[in-house]
Structure formats: structure tokens, C-alpha cells
Amino acid sequence: MKSSLLSSIIISIILAIVAFVVAPTDLASSNLVLAAGILIGGVLVPLIATLFSSGSGDASVSLKSTPTTLYVGNLPYKASEDDVKLHFQQAGKVHSVRLMKDRRTGKRKGYGFVEIDSKAADNAIAQLNDCEFQDRTLKVRLAKEKAND
């Protein structure tokens, strides 16, 4: 995302300079307006869009919060993604829940992953590890990165 913003800014500055210098000199004020328009459209708009973008589309958030993935083990087989999401929302904003299933049978494996706000991850581990959820004791840890084979 940062490299596309930087390339957008560089291209906009080059276009603004070219528009100001190359256009006929008897239209100097028009050249200035054109150059300013290119700069505003190519620099400020992408910059503002980057600052105000968030995963939920909420424009009041100034910076995107990065989620942390937690491993959740010993889940009840009958638990749904919505059940797990509701349980983890007591610790912080939940971005997504993925419960693992056996590819062959389609039955749940009893573990999954919860993406939660980074700021709430430590709280979620402390609060929800070894707690009861649908008659099972959950194991909550930071998820390990996938190994690239």
C-alpha cells in the first residue's frame, strides 16, 4: 500500500510539473490551476483515502488497526463461527473467525483461529485461555506463522 501511494505521489508531481511547463505560456493562470488540480487529485486524495481507510469502512478511524491471529484449541465440535465470535468479543473487536474442518468428512476438528485487534490480543489470551466455553476448556495462544514449503 505504501509503495502505490508513493508512486502515485511521484507520478502526480511529474504530471503537475509537465502541465505547468509544457502548456502555452499565455495561459499561465490555467497552467497553475491544472498543476494544482493534478497535485490535489494525485497526492492529497490517495493520502486522505489511506489515512481514513479501515477494515469496517468506518471513516472515523484515522489509521487501520492490524489484527492479531489467535489459535483457539479444544473447541466444542458443535460451536459455530458466530458462537466463537460472540465469546471473543468480550475481549475486543473480532475481525474474523475460522473453524477448521476435516476435508474428507466436513466435520469440525475442534480448533480454529480468531483474528482480533492487536491491542486486545493479550487481554483475550489472559481472559479466555483456560475458560469454560460450551462445557469445554479453551486453549488460547498466539497463532504461529505458516511455514512456507
CB of 61 closer than 8 Å to CB of 52: yes
Name the β-bridge partners of 94: 116
For residues 139 and 87, give the distance between their C-alpha atoms in angstroms, rounded to a whole number: 13
CB of 13 closer than 8 Å to CB of 46: no
Give residue 62's pLDDT. Answer: 43
Q: What residue ranges in 5-137 does DSSP mark as E strands?
A: 67-73, 94-101, 108-117, 132-133, 136-137
Structural domains of the chain, count: 2
For residues 143 and 138, give the distance between their C-alpha atoms in angstroms, rounded to a whole number: 14
Q: What is the pTM of this model?
A: 0.56
pLDDT in tens, the chain (149 residues): 566 666 666 777 776 666 666 665 555 566 666 666 766 666 666 666 666 665 544 444 445 568 999 999 999 999 999 999 999 999 999 999 999 999 999 999 999 999 999 899 999 999 999 999 999 999 999 998 776 65
Give residue 61's pLDDT. Answer: 45
Give residue 14's pLDDT. Answer: 72
**Domain span at residue 94?**
67-142
**Residue that is last in its domain, among 10, 29, 52:** 52
61 lies in a domain?
Answer: no
Of 136, 144, 143, the closest CA to residue 108 belongs to: 136
Give residue 102's pLDDT. Answer: 92
Residues 89 and 136 reside in one and the same domain: yes
59 lies in a domain?
Answer: no
Residues 7 and 47 reside in one and the same domain: yes
For residues 93 and 11, give the distance between their C-alpha atoms in angstroms, rounded to a whole number: 38
Give residue 114's pLDDT. Answer: 96
